[in-house]
Amino acid sequence: MPQKVEPTSTNRYLDAYRENIRKSLNEITNDIGMALRDTGLMLPIFITVPTSGNALAMTATPLDPSDQDWEQARIIVNGIIEKKLGCGKLRSRELTCAVANAAPMAAADVIAE
């Protein structure tokens, strides 16, 4: 029999952060795009906001950037989301990602510390 999972205070604050990201997603992605261009990174970045789990957002690019470029992009993404949410330092966790009929992708979770 499935168990009912009661929301915890952690779940509530993650849900509130996610909702704020959803409401500001266009502004966040616009700011990310400008910041990437300002640093010379011409990476398209996808952002999705999960409905459960520990991640506030997930980011990916259809390109296969160097580790250095992807790390710089993740720092930019995290910084913009931190500023928008007014939260503490965020961290990223590398994800395994695959795509059919295309080149390899890079992906990462954005997680509250």
**Given this model, what pLDDT does residue 2 score?**
47
Secondary structure in 3-state letters for 53-96: CCEEEEEEECCCCCHHHHHHHHHHHHHHHHHHHCCCCEEEEEEC
**Mean pLDDT for the stretch of residues 48-54:** 89
Model pLDDT for residues 65-81, shown as the tens digit of each residue: 999 999 999 999 999 99
Quote the CA–CA distance of 68 and 66 in Å, as a whole number.
Answer: 5
Contacts of 34 (CB under 8 A, 6+ apart): none
**Least reliable range by pLDDT among 55-59, 64-68, 102-106:** 102-106
- Residues making up the chain, counted from first to last: 113
| Model confidence, pTM | 0.79
Quote the CA–CA distance of 29 and 32 in Å, as a whole number.
Answer: 5
Average of per-residue pLDDT values in the chain: 84
**Given this model, what pLDDT does residue 5 score?**
42
The pLDDT-based confidence of 10 (bands split at 50, 70, 90) is low
User: Between these two residues, 12 and 37, which has the higher pLDDT value?
Assistant: 37
Name the CATH topology of 9-112.
Alpha-Beta Plaits (3.30.70)
Q: Tokens in use for 106?
A: 């890079």
Q: Is the pLDDT score of 6 beyond 70?
A: no
Quote the CA–CA distance of 110 and 47 in Å, as a whole number.
Answer: 10
**Given this model, what pLDDT does residue 68 score?**
95
The pLDDT-based confidence of 1 (bands split at 50, 70, 90) is very low
* Domain positions in the chain: 9-112
Q: Tokens in use for 104?
A: 């390899």
